[in-house]
Amino acid sequence: MEEYIFLDDIATADVAIESRGDTLEELFTASAMATFEVMADISGIQPKSKKTLHLENSEVDGLLFDWLAELIYLKDSEYMLFGKYNITITKNTNYQLDAEIFGEEIDQSKHDLRCDVKAITFHLFEVYEKSGKWISRFILDI
């Protein structure tokens, strides 16, 4: 089961998040959900548009960083919020992520907007497996 919590005592000018999942797919979903929850009430995002993504990285932490950076880029470049994710992660030579992401254009009259996330940072960034759970910690620049 994917889950996430906000770590208020880690960063004061930014947002620190710890996300968890039983699988990498759940971890990446929870991390994406947390990122968009910082920006808006994700319960109000409708899956009107679908985007397909393919990412590769030699390291799992690099793949998570690339994933979140790509979602933030799409928010900025296409003015969209995302709230549903179908993710498959495989490992051959590299970690490969294939995802369908669903969302809609930002509508200030409809969406409960909070603050804008500018970027994912490397500060205190980590991904690890512990006791059968995948865990990540990351800080968003707002």
Q: Where are the alpha helices (DSSP H) in 15-79?
A: 24-39, 60-78
Integer-rounded Cα radius of gyration of the chain: 14
Q: Domain spanning 3-141 has what CATH number?
A: 3.55.10.10
pTM here is 0.90
* Residues 99, 25: Cα–Cα separation, whole Å: 10
Domain ranges of the chain: 3-141
Query: What's residue 3's pLDDT?
Result: 84
Comparing C-alpha atoms, which of 47, 46, 45 is closest to residue 102? 47
pLDDT at position 8 over 80: no
Query: What's residue 9's pLDDT?
Result: 72
pLDDT per residue over 109-129, tens digit each? 999 999 999 999 998 899 999
Give the CA distances from residue 104 to residues 14, 15, 81, 88, in Å, rounded to whole numbers and listed in that order. Answer: 25, 24, 6, 22
pLDDT per residue over 77-108, tens digit each? 999 999 999 999 999 999 999 999 999 999 99
pLDDT per residue over 40-81, tens digit each? 999 999 999 999 999 999 999 999 999 999 999 999 999 999
